[in-house]
Structure 1
């Protein structure tokens, strides 16, 4: 008997991967940032095609219900994404401060050279 849930999940996963790949091609998404989502999409497709994989992993890790494992996996994935975005945000703030400092130095040098010319 066909389990429609897994077919629907597979279709959604394929559309998800298509959307990510299309966003990369249109330069809306950097490959560095999209790699995590591509990995998630591939895992989603695998779990859709082979539902015994998450069941086996859940049993191996000691989860009594597969849905608890999937929820735990989703929470870990989201925490990882938040950590990555926090690191990127910190790096961008440092770069912005450095750019502002460089801009201020250049602006003061231009003003100083204008005053010397007058």
Structure 2
């Protein structure tokens, strides 16, 4: 007998894309999670865990938004570790990683995907 594992994902509404100012992060309670939402350009929105991977403090939405080449980044406001917004890779300390979530904009509303 063969069994298959079905992966389920949920798209959860967070806020309107117009509610975010480009180049800044905002924290949103999406479901039961605190997520940092960052609008970088137009309707391009990234979602990452709001907790700093180094300290565990809920501060990432207040991070410094920038880029490394064509890769959008956010730097922790505490110790300035720099993370890729798309992958969560830490440029300054390879032992750290920031959890990322996929986003989409539907009818002007940002939705965040959780794969529980």
Structure 1-normalised TM-score? 0.24
Q: Which has the higher strand share?
A: 2
Structure 2-normalised TM-score? 0.25
Q: Higher relative contact order by CA 8 Å / sep ≥ 6: 1 or 2?
A: 2
Q: Who wins on radius of gyration, i.e. which is larger?
A: 1
Q: Which has the higher helix share?
A: 1
